[in-house]
Amino acid sequence: MDIIPAIDIIGGKCVRLTQGDYGTIKIYSGSPVEVAKRYNDSDFKRVHIVDLDGAKSGSPVNLKILEKIASETNLKIQFGGGIKSEESLSDALNAGASKVICGTFALTQPEKFSGWIDKYSQEKIVLGADFREGKIAVNGWQKQTEILLEDIIERFYTYGLRELVATDISRDGMLSGVNADTYYRLKKRFDLLRVVVSGGVSSIEEIEKLDSSLISGVIVGKAIYEGKINLKKLGRCCQKE
C-alpha cells in the first residue's frame, strides 16, 4: 500500500481546505517545492498534487510548480486540477506528472476520457472521484451532482480504468477517520481496480489498520501539516511497504 503525502496549491502556496470549501483555506507553506523536497528526503516515493486554482478555473494554473518539483525531487507525481482538455493533459505529463487525475472532465466528456485511457495507458490516466454521501461532486468540489460514485466507476471500468483516487469530501480536512467501508466495497466490486483513498486520515495507526489487500494507496494531507502524524515515522512506514 502506497503512502502518498498531499500538496494542494492555491496562489502558488501549499494550503488545505476543509470539506472542499475554498472559504476555509489555510496556508501551511509559501513553497510547495520545499514541502515536496521534505517528502523526498523522508523516503516517500509518490506525491499527490492538486492544483486547486486549476480545478476552480478549468485549466491548470500551477504547472511551473509541478515542473520544478519533478526536476528537483525523485518523487513520482500524480497531478490533478483543471484537466479538461487533451492539451492540458499533455501539458501536465510534459511538466513531469507520471499520472494525471481527471474528475470533472470524465463526467462531462465520458467518451473522450475513455479514449484517453486507451491512448495514454491505464498507468497514466486516473479517475478522481470526489463524493459526498455516495454522490459525485465536480468543479473543485463546488458543484454537487446526483451521479452515484459506483455508477461512474463502473462506466469507465469497462473501458479499462484501473486506478481510482476517491475522496470523501465530508471527511476531507476533518481528521475524522477514513471511510474505509465504502472503499472496501468498491474494491470488492471492481477487483482489478487500484483504489487510492483520501479524506480523514488522522494517524499512522489508522493507516496500519487499513486492509492492504483492498486499498492500494492512502493520501495523507492535513494530519501531516497539523503535526498529528510525524513525517519521519510516516516515511519509515512507507519504506516497509
Q: Which three cell numbers stand for residue 205?
A: 495507526
Q: Which three cell numbers stand for residue 126?
A: 486516473
Which residue in 2, 8, 53, 168 is the catalytic one? Answer: 8
Which residue in 51, 53, 130, 172 is the catalytic one? Answer: 130
Q: How many residues does the chain have?
A: 241
130 classed as catalytic: yes
Q: Are 215 and 237 in contact (CB under 8 A)?
A: no
Q: Are 84 and 104 in contact (CB under 8 A)?
A: yes
d(CA 38, CA 33): 9
Q: Are 130 and 21 in contact (CB under 8 A)?
A: no
Q: Which three cell numbers stand for residue 94?
A: 510534459
d(CA 132, CA 171): 9
Q: Which amino acids are annotated catalytic?
A: 8, 130
